[in-house]
Structure 1
Amino acid sequence: MSTRSDRRWAELARELEFTRLPELRRQAEGWRTGLTGLTSLLAVLLLLKGRDNLNDLPGWARGTAVGLLVAAFLLLITGSLLAARAAHGAPEREILLGGQTLRRWTEREVDRVRRALAWAFLCCVLGMISVVGALLVAWVTTGASAAPLVDVKTGTGTVCGELILVNRQQLTISMEQDVEVSLPRTSVVSVKPAETCDAAP
């Protein structure tokens, strides 16, 4: 029984030389399908949800998140193309009829498919890391966003700072060095959004 088992394993090992390429092609086909799905999903999310989610971010965070998402999209597309190359091969200009020639071509093609799959896997991992990085930038920045800046014009001048509180009695803003100023509503002439308080008098 043990001898027959060993003989069968030896036969399978010899046959493995002839089945490596088809097995790798099937594996690459699975990777190609998965990467294509991820790329399509990312494209849909960018088109449908990306704009309204990123508009509320500060400029640097919006630029970082968009850059990471573009990098992820390009990486996933590259991975899909590499997996497609591994799954279907490249067009050959000649038909290999000789046994040794076919054997050498198969060995080279197995190496090419393995390299393409390794690069496709790396592109997939880096693409997903880029997506997660973009989400983290969006979440962390949105959670830590500052209060809006306003220019408040009163009868005696203009005050600029972050809007903290507005009610019927007063308007409170936070100025530089965390100094809070409360202004009676009766003294407020106008309130306007401000990009920066550097030029405020």
Structure 2
Amino acid sequence: MSAQSDRRWAQLARELEFGQLPELRRQAEGWRAGLTGLAALVAVLVTLKGRDDLDRIPDAARETAGALVGLAFLLLVAGSVLAVRAAHGSPGEQVLLAGQALRDWTRREIVRVTRALRCAAVCCVSGVALVTAAVVVVWTTTGAPADHLVRVVTTGGERCGELLGSGPGGVVLRTEGEKRTVLPARTVTSLVPVSTCASSG
């Protein structure tokens, strides 16, 4: 029984040589489908808005995120091309009829397919990592400071915030924690531009 089992395993090992390339082709086809889906997902994410205040993100962060997404898309496309090459071979390949030539070609093709699959996997992981980095950059970057900050001294104290407007009705501010504050003109004694409201009362 043991000798028969050993012979069977030896036979399977000899047959494995003939099925290795088709198996690699099937794996490559799966990678190709996955990478195509990821590239499409990146394209969709680029067209959708993540944050509503992207215009308030500093230009450097916005450009960095855009470059990361663009590079990720290129990597995913490159991975898809490599996976297609691994799954279907190169265009114009000749069919080999001689046994020894076919064996040599198969061994070389196995090496090429394996290398292409590894590169496709690296492209996939790198592309996903870059997309993640772009999302982190966009969501963690502090918005640009508000323009036109002023400190308004009134008869009741000081207020500091972004100047939204002024007129006969008073001074309109956007203060921290509030959407809009109107200070009546009769109570305003002075208005001074400032760079920050951190030290305001």
TM-score band (shorter)?
0.7 to 0.9
1:151-200 CA distance string (max 9 Å, x none): 6599xxxxxx96362523378975359443x7xxxxxxxxxxxxxxxxxx
Distance across 2 between alignment mates of 1:134 and 1:172: 39
SS in 1 for 2:49: helix
Distance across 2 between alignment mates of 1:27 and 1:112: 14
| TM-score, scaled to structure 2 | 0.76
Which residue of 1 is the match for residue 155 of structure 2?
Answer: none
Question: Which runs of no fewer than 5 residues in structure 1 stay unpaired?
Answer: 155-160, 183-201
Q: Paired residue for 1:168, among 165, 182, 185?
A: 182
Q: Decide which structure has greater helix share.
A: 1
1:91-147 CA distance string (max 9 Å, x none): 235321100000000001000000000000000011001000000001101xx3244
How do 1:170-189 residues align onto structure 2 when only pairs under 5 Å count? 175=195, 178-180=198-200
Distance across 2 between alignment mates of 1:168 and 1:16: 81
Which residue of 2 is the match for residue 85 of structure 1?
Answer: 85
Distance across 2 between alignment mates of 1:173 and 1:3: 94
Closer, same or farther: CA 122–40 of 1 in aligned 2, 3 Å: same
How do 1:5-16 residues align onto structure 2 when only pairs under 5 Å count? 5-16=5-16
1:7 Cα deviation from its structure 2 partner? 1.4
Amino acid at match of 1:28: A
Amino acid at match of 1:168: V
Amino acid at match of 1:57: I
Runs (4 or more) in structure 1 with deviation over 4 Å come to 50-53, 151-154, 170-174
Question: Which runs of no fewer than 5 residues in structure 2 stay unpaired?
Answer: 153-159, 163-173
Amino acid at match of 1:106: T
Q: Is the 8 A contact 1:149 1:162 kept in 2?
A: no
Which residue of 1 is the match for residue 156 of structure 2?
Answer: none
1:38 Cα deviation from its structure 2 partner? 0.5
Closer, same or farther: CA 102–162 of 1 in aligned 2, 3 Å: farther
SS in 1 for 2:182: coil
Amino acid at match of 2:195: M
Which residue of 2 is the match for residue 114 of structure 1?
Answer: 114
Q: Paired residue for 2:147, among 143, 146, 149?
A: 149
Cα RMSD for the two superposed structures: 2.8
